[in-house]
Structure 1
Amino acid sequence: MKVNDFLRGLFDCAVRVADPMQSLASALPPKPKGRVVVIGAGKASARMAEAVEAEWGPCEGLVITRYGYERPCQGIEIASASHPVPDAAGVAAAQRMLALLDTVGQGDFVLALISGGGSALLCAPVDGVTLEEKQQLTADLLASGAPIGTINGIRKELSAVKGGRLAAAAYPARMLALMISDVPGDDPGDIASGPTVGHAGSAARALSELDNWGVVPAPAIGAYLRAGGDPVRPDDPRLSTTTNVIYAAPSQSLAAAAEQAQTAGYTVEILGDSIEGEARDIAKAHAAHALKAAPGTLILSGGELTVTRRGDGIGGPNAEYALALAIALNGQENIHAITCDTDGVDGAAEVAGAIIGPDTLTKATTLSPQDALANNDAHSFFASIGDQVVTGPTLTNVNDFRAILVK
């Protein structure tokens, strides 16, 4: 088997394990008696809804997914919105979801389907803050290089649905939230900014983080945060009827890929499933690690890397990691790698990631690798040499998948 096919097979294995049609049924209880309402948000939410109806039959409900990630459902309405920067469609759908929850009560059952991407898709600003102000803040935070946990903590303060507010809106109905984790550490409060989990942060902390990352919020946002906000705390009685369950996580996908590689005769080393940091810096560290590894080793890792915008190119954390890794390896023989986002979208580009090998740098004829990295233009670089990984919507999301193969 060609090495690129082998690496792509490992990535496909990791995605397949997290596909809701393969994994959700085992976490789903028998359909409760009485009224059942299904809600959800995230890149995988439509696929999750499809999997629920495959087990339960037609259901009442509404989920919000990314444009292009829709799935056919029998009764659950699928709404589409923008990601990673929210749009008016997401706001309207979130408001309709809140209106739907206003109709549930004692004795009803709500199933919430939550996955990565829900932070942007499930968007309804607090009173006094406009969508345009939240859009600009989101764009600025994404460009700042701030880790996703920090970004989501700020989002919770400014949302009518995040940080436990969605679960509070469903009270006193019973709620089960089934989640696919795409966050380092698998904290339910970080997945989609925790719409069913109480918020332990504070408005003061959000202001401090904005200052720390050099992001200046709109005056209305600053005023709202200085006034203290109105969070739903973890001990809020309205959360007492909600149960949160993570049923799919990055560790499971890495383990499946590791098993496939071991079957092929490789020794596998997993560096971790929750690695965070600047993509190019982590790539340098991983290159140094790979250069010391014995032949026949596969090095796996996951997590969520970030990119600080320095240029105006087309890039994403996985592509930037791959390019920085290739530069650091400098054509080292017998070392190949794949790095992709399991949702099929790296940054804002409709590209999952890239594959590199010993010839990556020498294949470049139109773009300098170093210039592309300096300009955050990794996607353009890999497009020019034909080494992008394009999957289309994978309908799941367990974050980054990285595999370095020492042949």
Structure 2
Amino acid sequence: MEPRKLLQQMFEAAVQSARPEQCLSRHLPVPPKGRVIVIGAGKAAAAMARAFEDAWQGEISAGLVVTRYGYEVPCSRIEVVSAAHPVPDQAGCAAAARMLELVRGLTPDDLVLCLISGGGSALLPLPLPGVTLAQKQELSRELLRCGAGISEINCVRRHLSAIKGGRLAAACHPARVLTLAISDVPGDSPTDIASGPTVADATTCADALAIVDRYRIALPEPLRECLSSGRGESVKPPDPRLGRAKFRLVATPQAALEAAALVAHAQGITPHILSDRMEGESREVGKVLAALALQVVRHRQPFTAPCVLLSGGETTVTVRGGGRGGRNVELLLALALALQGEKGIYAMAGDTDGVDGQEEIAGAFVVPDLLQRAWDMGINPRRRLDDNDGHGFFEDLGETLVTGPTLTNVNDFRAILITG
């Protein structure tokens, strides 16, 4: 099979394994005596709601989920609203406020089913009293640009939110709460998936403030007061209001990598899953992966070709240039520069939600003649990397991967195919 086609088929298998219609129905609970309230947030929330409607045999008393613009799926019994991602907007604030009202006044006989996926942090941006949406929007931009990891970003988000950090589950008390989640974070930590609206949080306001100061982000006084005073403290274990809240993962990055590995096996290519939680600065991770691929080609260590190196997780980009970038294309451009056109090595990286950074582009491909074609076109790859212009670079070379909304999100997918 042609290398680029094989890489794309592995990516598609990874995404398909995490589609809600494939993974959600086997996790449904027994219908309760009382009401069933369905809520949720994330890029996969509407697709999860539709999958739940298709599989659920009982009544649905009320339902509301919020998803990213363009990720809507029609539902008949659960309302779907749209909001902005990754920088939040007023529509997300309004949806979060309505969600809190929807779950108030429940009884022990009631069940709240919470459908959570990646992107929920930005889609449920309801600020604490004294904090404005505009302040949270600017903070979001700064956190996305500074190179902070997703756990750090979500720690800050939890302590400035009226709904994250266990507050949504606390509002459901004394009803039973079951969260079904699609993980998009390294390590699958429930507190980091959509910033943990239904789980207790052991991190503190002091932790959040330390992160802000570490990256030298200038905080408006109301936000700093909220953190320094402890007023933004999240729900801590073992809070009795969360005693009837349960959490289940229905799709994970590891399962997606395993699905991709089966595609490689079927083509006689040995897959090696390096990690489902790879983090770090994108361009540095790209150089490390290139070094590993070159070791395979030149020394047959630690693996022998033909093989494919698979990894997931979420890298970061410290933005210093003015180009159009995303963490996957940044990684790939750094990888290509380190490979220097080595024959027999092909690569792709993409976000399984179909959006790398803020572009409606999932990712891109690296092929052996990529750099030479760039130079022939008068394009300087190093300058493009310095300008954080990965999307511009790969578009000019015709090597972008565009999928449209995938309606799921198990974070980044990377595959390096070594043919010999």
Q: TM-score, normalised by structure 1?
A: 0.98
Quote the Cα distance in structure 2 between the aligned partners of 1:279 and 1:197: 30
Question: 1:299 is matched with which residue?
Answer: 309
Quote the Cα distance in structure 2 between the aligned partners of 1:48 and 1:91: 21
Quote the Cα distance in structure 2 between the aligned partners of 1:172 and 1:322: 49
Quote the Cα distance in structure 1 between the aligned partners of 2:31 and 2:415: 39
- Write the letter of the residue equivalent to 2:224: G
Question: 1:361 is matched with which residue?
Answer: 371
Question: 1:27 is matched with which residue?
Answer: 27
Report deviation, 1:106. Answer: 2.5
Report deviation, 1:223. Answer: 1.1
Q: Is the 8 A contact 1:342 1:397 kept in 2?
A: yes
Quote the Cα distance in structure 1 between the aligned partners of 2:32 and 2:315: 40
Question: 2:165 is matched with which residue?
Answer: 163
Question: 1:258 is matched with which residue?
Answer: 261
Quote the Cα distance in structure 2 between the aligned partners of 1:14 and 1:170: 34
The C-alpha deviation readout for 1:262-296, integer Å capped at 9, x for no partner, is 12111111110001100000000000000111320
Report deviation, 1:241. Answer: 1.1
Which deviates more, 393-402 or 53-62? 53-62
Runs of 4+ in 1 over 4 A off after TM superposition: none
Q: For 1:236, which of 239, 247, 253 is the aligned residue?
A: 239
Quote the Cα distance in structure 1 between the aligned partners of 2:280 and 2:416: 18
Judged with a 3 Å threshold, the aligned counterparts in structure 2 of structure 1 residues 103 and 367 are, in CA distance, closer, same or farther, namely: farther
Quote the Cα distance in structure 1 between the aligned partners of 2:31 and 2:47: 18
Quote the Cα distance in structure 2 between the aligned partners of 1:47 and 1:32: 23
SS of aligned partner of 1:71: coil
Question: 2:2 is matched with which residue?
Answer: 2
Question: 1:280 is matched with which residue?
Answer: 283
Which deviates more, 23-32 or 274-283? 23-32
Quote the Cα distance in structure 2 between the aligned partners of 1:52 and 1:363: 48
The C-alpha deviation readout for 1:324-353, integer Å capped at 9, x for no partner, is 111110100010001000000101111100
Report deviation, 1:203. Answer: 1.1
Which deviates more, 27-36 or 246-255? 27-36
Question: 1:71 is matched with which residue?
Answer: 73
> What stretches of structure 1 of length at least 5 have no aligned partner?
none
Quote the Cα distance in structure 2 between the aligned partners of 1:344 and 1:366: 29
Written as runs of structure 1 = structure 2, the 5 A alignment for 1:6-405 is 6-56=6-56, 59=60, 60-229=62-231, 230-293=233-296, 294-364=304-374, 365-405=377-417
Report deviation, 1:180. Answer: 0.5
Question: 2:299 is matched with which residue?
Answer: none
Q: Is the 8 A contact 2:32 2:109 kept in 1?
A: no
- Write the letter of the residue equivalent to 2:413: F
The C-alpha deviation readout for 1:79-119, integer Å capped at 9, x for no partner, is 10000010000000000001101142221110000000000
The C-alpha deviation readout for 1:190-219, integer Å capped at 9, x for no partner, is 100000011111111111111111211111
- Write the letter of the residue equivalent to 2:195: S
Report deviation, 1:33. Answer: 3.7
SS of aligned partner of 1:65: strand
Paired-residue identity, %: 53
The C-alpha deviation readout for 1:341-369, integer Å capped at 9, x for no partner, is 00001011111000111011122225321
Q: Is the 8 A contact 1:366 1:384 kept in 2?
A: no
SS of aligned partner of 1:166: helix
SS of aligned partner of 1:404: strand
Q: Is the 8 A contact 2:201 2:236 kept in 1?
A: yes
Q: Is the 8 A contact 1:161 1:195 kept in 2?
A: yes
Which deviates more, 214-223 or 39-48? 214-223
RMSD: 1.0
Quote the Cα distance in structure 2 between the aligned partners of 1:41 and 1:174: 18
> What stretches of structure 2 of length at least 5 have no aligned partner?
297-303
Q: Is the 8 A contact 2:33 2:109 kept in 1?
A: no
Which deviates more, 275-284 or 105-114? 105-114
Quote the Cα distance in structure 2 between the aligned partners of 1:109 and 1:368: 57
Quote the Cα distance in structure 2 between the aligned partners of 1:30 and 1:109: 10
SS of aligned partner of 2:187: coil
- Write the letter of the residue equivalent to 1:9: Q
Report deviation, 1:120. Answer: 0.2
Q: Is the 8 A contact 1:271 1:301 kept in 2?
A: yes
Quote the Cα distance in structure 1 between the aligned partners of 2:110 and 2:23: 25
- Write the letter of the residue equivalent to 1:357: V
Quote the Cα distance in structure 2 between the aligned partners of 1:225 and 1:43: 28
The C-alpha deviation readout for 1:43-67, integer Å capped at 9, x for no partner, is 0010000000001167320001000
- Write the letter of the residue equivalent to 2:361: V
Quote the Cα distance in structure 1 between the aligned partners of 2:52 and 2:356: 28
- Write the letter of the residue equivalent to 2:102: L
Question: 2:300 is matched with which residue?
Answer: none
Give aligned pairs, total: 407
